[in-house]
Structures are given as structure tokens and as C-alpha cells.
Amino acid sequence: MSEPLIFHFDVDGENFTSAGQASTQVKKNLRQLGLSPDIIRRVSIAMYEGEINMVIHANGGTADVIVTEDYIEIILADKGPGIPNVEQAMQEGFSTATDSIRSLGFGAGMGLPNMKRYTDTMEIDTMVGVGTTITMYVYL
């Protein structure tokens, strides 16, 4: 595999129950590429958390996954409200999700921490009122 493989997804912000479609598809694609179960698990969990965040907070967005020989890059971009205090948002247990989201089992305040936990690097580029782009790398 010399040319990077690029997978692009539009994440539907309206449909909470179908959230996870992009990460499930990525999991399938990575499996077909023969990557190790641990790498696949890390990438798909980080991406799922990002997808859920985009559905809960940002009315959807886009997800791009770039697979090279050396790393997997995941770029999640939305035009949502932005994150006013990234440091606070990165704390385990901090959440601004509503009760209805919590009743579905989300809103534990673990989304961003899990994304960081399962990737090698994570960068958050956010501006209130403009949107958020999160770039994560998992090295192979």
C-alpha cells in the first residue's frame, strides 16, 4: 500500500440512533486491510466517540480517515457551537449533554478523554460559534 487510502463520511446530525455508521464502516475497511484487532479497536472507538459528539453537540459534520503505511489519521470536522473551555471538556466526567442524551447511556463525560486515550496524538482546533476540528493519529 503506497498511496494513502482516504475514507470520507458525512455524519448525519439528525439521526441519533444511526450514529456510529461511519465508525462501523471504518472498522470494516480496516479489517479488510488486515490491520491488527487492537489498532482497529482503537481507531473505531476514537472515531465513534467523535461521531457521537458531533451528533449530540454539533448537528453533524464530516469524518475523514486517511490510512498510510505508517499511521492512520482521523479528522472530524463540524460547524457546531465550538468548545469554550477545552481543558474542562477534556476532564473525565465533564459533560454538557442533556438528560435525554444521558438516558441513552451517553453524556458520561468520557468522549474526548476516550479519544485521547485510544489515539497517539490528538489536537483540538475549536472556535466558539464557528466549529471544531479534531485531528487524531494512531501510529502503525
Partner 1 sequence: MIALLVKELLSHGFEAVSLPDGEREIDGVYIGDLLSWVMGRAQMDNAWITIMTNVNVIAVASLADTSCVILAEGVEMPEDIVQTALEKEVNILRSSKPIYETALQLAELIS
Enumerate binding residues for partner 1 (CB under 8 A).
Answer: 17, 19-20, 23-24, 27, 37-38, 40-41, 44-45, 48-49, 52, 104-111, 113-114, 117
Q: What is the DSSP string of 31-61?
A: HHTT--HHHHHHHHHHHHHHHHHHHHHSSEE
| CB nearer partner 1, residue 77 or residue 115 | 115
Write the single-letter amino acid at 107. G
**SS3 annotation, 69-106:** CCEEEEEEEECCCCCCCHHHHCCCCCCCCCHHHHCCCC
> What is the nearest approach in angstroms of partner 1 to the Cβ of residue 34?
16
> What is the nearest approach in angstroms of partner 1 to the Cβ of residue 130?
25
How many CB atoms lie under 10 A from the CB of residue 36?
A: 10
Report CA-CA distances (Å) from 6 to 13, 67, 73, 80.
22, 6, 9, 24
> What is the nearest approach in angstroms of partner 1 to the Cβ of residue 127?
25
> What is the nearest approach in angstroms of partner 1 to the Cβ of residue 106?
6
> What is the nearest approach in angstroms of partner 1 to the Cβ of residue 33?
16
H or E element: which one contains 132?
Answer: strand 131-139
